[in-house]
Structure 1
């Protein structure tokens, strides 16, 4: 079921063998759309975005998040965006390299770029602030219900990711902020906040 905010309509599709979640952010006033992660099943994603796709944002470089990217871009003419450190690993040229603190505009919708280092060097999240209700953050594979994303057993990468998630999400977002991960079900900042110390202690 779609979710409505002050400026946007949010929709999603679960695609591919790894249950990736692709998200569409549609401007309520202009109908323009942004797609978060063209992961797989391009026909499914094209049906969701129709003809009004401005940009595809890839949250990170991993293959299961880019499987439909070329097909969706070819069909819609949308521009591509990804974190600077991951951009050169994508299967087609990235037209907009994203840095922490950048703002993406789609119609009247503004999305803040949050760089979350660790799962990959260039992983990004997108934050949609809503004055009429909870904010929404699309976290890719950097934050899930129950913990941060995979850092391949590397203590330095894990520490970097947990620090970024803590300082750039948990320290600045309210408990009712909805977290939309790259796989599986949504959660909230408030539901996950009590477990930060446990995550740091277990080391993954």
Structure 2
């Protein structure tokens, strides 16, 4: 599906369960093409991307740009590379966690060009250490991976996930003139600044809930999850634990909470 001229969204598999969006894969077309993420590695998903790229007669796929090394974003990269010869591109901090070898390692501020399309690398750690977003400069479109989702909030799973870094990375994006965000899951975001501000405030509000719970004697992650998410779908319990733990670790580093000798945390 064409989003705007030169930017396309490609089907990349189905949702694993209700309420969770399947991964989005994007194709940027200049004289050459670049995929943003590769989706899952099963044959049906890979074929859908290859078929879409093949529909552009004579288009050479130059890059497979990976926002982070989770299987719903990296899983199809090796198979797509084998069929197209495209280079797999990862941030150097993410390459250590990847199960495929990157052809090109990138850092903050690097730019990949497709003759008429310039994609700038923005290092946005938080969801993972080497997570990056790609900014299509000419169109002011941000491909955000799992850093900003079309709906819902990004999962934090310490030690890989870091809440302080995540909030800092959200604030960093406020410095850019972004027209649209193409997220790794969920619908397009057409009011980027408002979305970023909402996500930052949501995290700060959740942090306050954690602090309030600690003050009421809810010391462990399990106790805090039960208080903050009283009607939680059981399929999301592990994700909720990660969110709460990420907040606790942030508060500990900031000197606002301290581990107890027995179990859990207390407010300083």
1:61 aligns with 2:85: no
Aligned to 1:23: 26
Q: 1:126/1:172 Cα in 2 relative to 1: closer, same or farther (>3 Å)? A: same
1:90 aligns with 2:93: no
The Cα RMSD (Å) is 2.0
Unaligned runs of 5+ in 1: none
Contact kept? 2:111, 2:121, Cα under 8 Å: yes
* Equivalences, count: 191
Q: Which runs of 4+ in 1 moved over 3 A?
A: 145-148
CA distance in 1, matches of 2:205, 2:71: 30
Contact kept? 1:146, 1:192, Cα under 8 Å: no
SS at 2:65 equivalent: strand
SS at 1:144 equivalent: coil
Identify the structure with the greater strand proportion: 1
1:202 aligns with 2:206: yes
Q: Which has the higher contact order (CA 8 A, sep 6+)?
A: 1
Contact kept? 2:91, 2:106, Cα under 8 Å: yes
- State the Cα deviation string for residues 129-157 of structure 1 (Å, max 9, x = none): 23xxx610001001124565211267x81
1:43 aligns with 2:47: yes
How is 1:25-174 mapped onto 2 (pairs within 5 angstroms)? 25-27=28-30, 30=31, 32-40=32-40, 41-50=45-54, 51-130=59-138, 135-145=140-150, 149-152=154-157, 157-167=162-172, 169-174=173-178
The alignment's TM-score, normalised by the length of structure 1, stands at 0.85
1:190 equivalent among 174, 189, 193: 193
Identify the structure with the greater helix proportion: 2
Contact kept? 2:11, 2:48, Cα under 8 Å: no
Shift of 1:181: 0.8
Contact kept? 2:150, 2:185, Cα under 8 Å: no
1:10 aligns with 2:15: no
Shift of 1:89: 2.6
